[in-house]
Structure 1
């Protein structure tokens, strides 16, 4: 059995870039930054990781409309690695293809609404009661950051 699922909660490092596809659809791309605290010696150090996010269809249009640099977003999707040639050298790029994006509060907004954009296609196998309605839903509280744990990298066996 194979499984390719990614859940990310982080902040956008730039505004989403929206483009039109040849087939009339839309694609939006943005970068999401996540931080992880690790313990190096007696000091806690933040290690940022940057994720390339790709969103298609109406969800891409919603991302371009509602998200901005600094916005908090929760992305659910899958990892996809592409190869291409640049100056005769084979290059690799790993993207997260978003299947569902939830919007956190807008930067500077206290307790702003949380937006949930449902996937565009009907291939979602969850029952309708568990799927988003496709309309923005509001929540009183912003998306919380997960609890951060102290990780001593000297305990990692590799």
Structure 2
């Protein structure tokens, strides 16, 4: 049987790492652009949950941020559980075997620098952030 997946995309938000029975587990969502355009002549993306473990999870947490371009090789895994309302919930995710960083250190630092400039706000309220719409995202 073959269960092998290769994806390239951008991280939607920072990885969430937690400890679980002597393992570190990290999960994040990867936005993967589809290869064809929709009726509006725009590319759409699929948002795929990725799970990483131990050193890989720690490395992703340390060296990536929202928008980082990475490659993921792994396998599809499905599971289910019963929620608080007693309903069965099904989940599909990619369990990574290998992560590849697809940005150079310079590209990563430049993107972070550009993001900080975009979020710079002259308002004196430190909790004031600009509104970001889906069309503003690079993926």
TM over 0.5: yes
1:109-156 deviation line (CA, Å, top 9, x unaligned): 2798xxxxxxxxxxxxxxxxxxxxxxxxxxxxxxxxxxxxxxxxxxxx
- How much does 1:37 deviate? 4.3
* Equivalences for residues 6-155 of structure 1 within 5 A: 6-23=5-22, 25-40=23-38, 43-86=40-83, 87-105=85-103, 109=107
Question: Matched residues in 2 for 1:108 and 1:29: separation?
Answer: 26
1:50-95 deviation line (CA, Å, top 9, x unaligned): 0000001111111111111000010000000110111111110101
Residue 126 of structure 1 is matched in structure 2 by none
User: Structure 1, unaligned stretches of length 5 or more?
Assistant: 113-158
Q: TM-score by structure 1 length?
A: 0.62
Structure with the higher helix share, 1 or 2:
2
Instruction: Flag the 1:68–1:106 CA change in 2: closer, same or farther, 3 A.
Output: farther
User: Structure 2, unaligned stretches of length 5 or more?
Assistant: 111-139
Number of residue pairs matched?
109
Contact residue 38 and residue 44 of structure 2 kept, 8 A: no
Instruction: Flag the 1:22–1:52 CA change in 2: closer, same or farther, 3 A.
Output: same
Instruction: Flag the 1:59–1:39 CA change in 2: closer, same or farther, 3 A.
Output: closer
- How much does 1:47 deviate? 1.6
